[in-house]
Structure 1
Amino acid sequence: MEKLTLLGNKQVSYSSEYDPTVLEVFDNKHRNRDYFVKFNCPEFTSLCPVTGQPDFAALTIAYVPDIKMVESKSLKIYLFSFRNHGAFHEDCVNIILEDLKALMEPKYIEVQGKFLPRGGISIDPYCNYGKAGTKWAGIARYRMMNRDLYPEKIDNR
């Protein structure tokens, strides 16, 4: 198992620039079954790459682990590194998915952002991935095709 350097470390510094190198993993001790791990991140922030204005979102990251799992404190520090990063909402969720996919090689992963309205428009990007050649590739296609069958009402934000 890899050494976790952030968990329990009180001297952790938070990067003010996007930094995927802070992500750490540990071994999945329950590889004999499929199960979801879901992170709710209600205070995600990034910057608009054009105006530099802050964007706020609630992110949901869910995955089915294979061999490795992401350590939650490193994920928190990684997400914090977007605070001064200029990227469109759609880019943020796709960057996060690709970084976590490369780190863990999960069976399945999805990332959804629910960005607060700015200029009267909210944006809710969603992306997912299922490992090719497994049932999870089909599940990823199915979940993508069935996104927003029941869209939100404006009054429930």
Structure 2
Amino acid sequence: MSGRKDDELPSVSHLGSEQTTYTFDYDPSLLETFENNHPNRDYVVKFNCPEFTTLCPKTGQPDFATIYIRYIPEVNMVESKSLKLYLFSFRNHGGFHEDAINTIMNDLIDLMDPRFIEVWGKFTPRGGISIDPYANYGRPETKYEQMAEQRLLYHDLYPEAVDNR
């Protein structure tokens, strides 16, 4: 097993840069990919993003969430620092929770064309209620489409006891 060389990662510019700048407005162009070294097998990549922030489009108040992104790659994979910068770009974006989750998922589908992807936002309560939108996608006419349907139907079959938010 050998490491990747810089010339094998031409689309990765954020990682290793000492000139990182943070964008406060939604910007999907921040997302970068690299090639999957194991496209011949199904495996899962999962990101847990516990410091996601966006703004309520009506009140301008901040909304906080943990975002879970889980996908089965095909050819392209999302580079984690670019994902971090992209999620940070929602900081001043006004969007409802459900829109944020679907926007993230759509941008990642456009970027990577994964076999399967799911995005789940667990937002902290405001006004005594929390909202936890979930969206997924499986490549049409494949086993991943059926997988997505099943995951959606049984997504929250066993909800956790909410005692930490």
Shorter-normalised TM range: over 0.9
1:33 aligned to 2:41? yes
SS at match of 1:3: coil
- Identity, % of aligned pairs? 62
Q: 1: CA distance between counterparts of 2:164 and 2:84?
A: 27
Q: 2: CA distance between counterparts of 1:6 and 1:105?
A: 21
Aligned match of 1:84: 92
**Structure 2 residue ranges without an equivalent (≥5):** 1-8
Letter in 1 for 2:100: C
List structure 1 segments (4+ residues) > 6 angstroms apart after TM superposition.
none
Q: Between Structure 1 and Structure 2, how many residues are aligned?
A: 157
Matches within 5 A, 1:54-69: 54-69=62-77
Q: 2: CA distance between counterparts of 1:149 and 1:77?
A: 32
**Structure 1 residue ranges without an equivalent (≥5):** none
Matches within 5 A, 1:1-157: 2-157=10-165
Per-residue deviation, 1:2: 3.6
Q: 1: CA distance between counterparts of 2:159 and 2:48?
A: 20
With the length of structure 2 as denominator, give the TM-score of the two structures: 0.92
Residues 2 and 25 in structure 1, CA contact (< 8 A), matched pair in contact too: no
Per-residue deviation, 1:48: 0.2
Letter in 2 for 1:102: D
SS at match of 2:141: coil
Q: 2: CA distance between counterparts of 1:154 and 1:30?
A: 37
Change (3 A) 1:16 1:155: closer
CA RMSD of aligned residues (A): 1.0
Per-residue deviation, 1:23: 0.3
Letter in 1 for 2:137: Y
Q: 1: CA distance between counterparts of 2:34 and 2:18?
A: 20
